[in-house]
Amino acid sequence: MPTSTPASRDLPAAPTVADLIRFGAATFERAGLAFGHGTDNAVDEAAALVFHALGLDHAEAAAVYGQRPEAAAVARVLGLFEERVARRVPAAYLMGRMWFAGLEFEVDARVIVPRSPFAELIAARFEPWVEPQAVRRILDIGTGSGCMAIGCAIAFPAARVDAVDVSPDALEVARRNVVRHAVDARVRLFEGDCYEPLDEVRYDLIVSNPPYVSDAEMAALPEEYRHEPERALRAGPDGLEVVRRILAGAASHLTPDGVLVVEVGDSESRLVDAFPRLPFVWLEFDHGGGGVFLLRRGDLEH
């Protein structure tokens, strides 16, 4: 068992799964870790790492809390705790996976960790904003791990999905996830900026979780976020560089009844100030999150 783990003496000699989670949460709290990569608190973060290290199923949580793992398994858990604290690495990268829209995705430092409220929209098939049966083509701009493109492909089984990213490294991760979820017949990956690599195809639905962090916000981010690719976060002085390009080309890439949905996070007020004439619809979420707008093609033609 690692001896350098902070306050490991506080852990029972033969800890249960619940003991390990409590110990991890206390360790993370003392270390002042930042959360926001799939969890928002120390307990959930510790639980994710414990269940991963022990190969446990979250669906059976109540039945396994009392289990006492073998010493080697406990050592694996404590090793992950140590790395989480020492390097401030997001838990998703330590696990090599993250869940989004009810699906598991491979992730590593080539892509940002999936954590968007878009998961709720995908689960609802974007109703009432679209007629799901009418959606035949979808575009995901800045696909990263491919989580949104793949989630949309599964939510809309009759649709074809194009996914674009400027990073060839990110597209390698996305490609693995496309194959993993067996949607390679309907999901196409393109390298390029926004609409650059696309032909004249129009889409019924364009979605994007693009870079939207301003330069000032980047400087203030906790260390955990610095493990993610900077180009997937930073978007210039006001955080709107990429969003401007998305808005500029959206009308010419949407069908007559097409819808554009984009996450801009804390850049919401700056976007409204920059485009005062656009009738942004700001979506609300039952499970937290915000900063996601919706526009119809007609809204973009004025």
Q: What is the pLDDT of residue 199?
A: 86
The candidate with the shortest Cα–Cα distance to 203, out of 233, 144, 161, 237, is 161
Q: How many domains does the chain have?
A: 2
How far is 238 from 213, CA to CA, in rounded Å? 8
- Give percent of the chain with pLDDT exceeding 90: 88
Q: What are residue 98's phi and psi, to 5 degrees?
A: -155, 155
Of 50, 67, 95, which marks where a domain is finished? 95
User: Does one domain contain both 90 and 169?
Assistant: no
Q: What is the pLDDT of residue 7?
A: 52
How far is 242 from 212, CA to CA, in rounded Å? 7
Q: List the domain range (segments joined by +) for residue 64.
A: 8-95
User: Does one domain contain both 56 and 184?
Assistant: no
User: Does one domain contain both 225 and 140?
Assistant: yes
pLDDT in tens, 86-145: 999 999 999 999 999 999 999 999 999 999 999 999 999 999 999 999 999 999 999 999
User: Does one domain contain both 68 and 204?
Assistant: no
User: Does one domain contain both 224 and 133?
Assistant: yes
Is 272 inside a domain boundary? yes
User: Does one domain contain both 35 and 162?
Assistant: no
Of 69, 95, 121, which marks where a domain is finished? 95
pLDDT in tens, 145-175: 999 999 999 999 999 999 999 999 999 999 9
Q: Which CATH number do you get for residue 239?
A: 3.40.50.150
Name the band, by pLDDT with cuts 50, 70 and 90, for residue 9.
low
Is residue 3 scored above 50 in pLDDT?
no
Inter-CA distances, 229 with 42, 113, 211, 219, Å: 24, 10, 10, 14
Query: Three-class SS of residue 97?
Result: strand
User: Does one domain contain both 91 and 114?
Assistant: no
Is 2 inside a domain boundary? no
How far is 152 from 123, CA to CA, in rounded Å? 9
User: Does one domain contain both 194 and 107?
Assistant: yes
pLDDT in tens, 172-187: 999 999 999 999 999 9
Contact by Cβ (8 Å): 214, 237: yes
What does pTM read for this prediction? Answer: 0.92
Instruction: Report the 10 Å Cβ neighbour count for 281.
Output: 13
Q: Residue 14 is encoded by which pair of tokens? A: 């033969």
Q: What is the pLDDT of residue 18?
A: 96
Q: What is the pLDDT of residue 252?
A: 95
pLDDT in tens, 247-292: 999 999 999 999 999 999 999 999 999 999 999 999 999 887 889 9
User: Does one domain contain both 166 and 112?
Assistant: yes
Sign of the Cα torsion 61, 67, 72, 77 reads positive
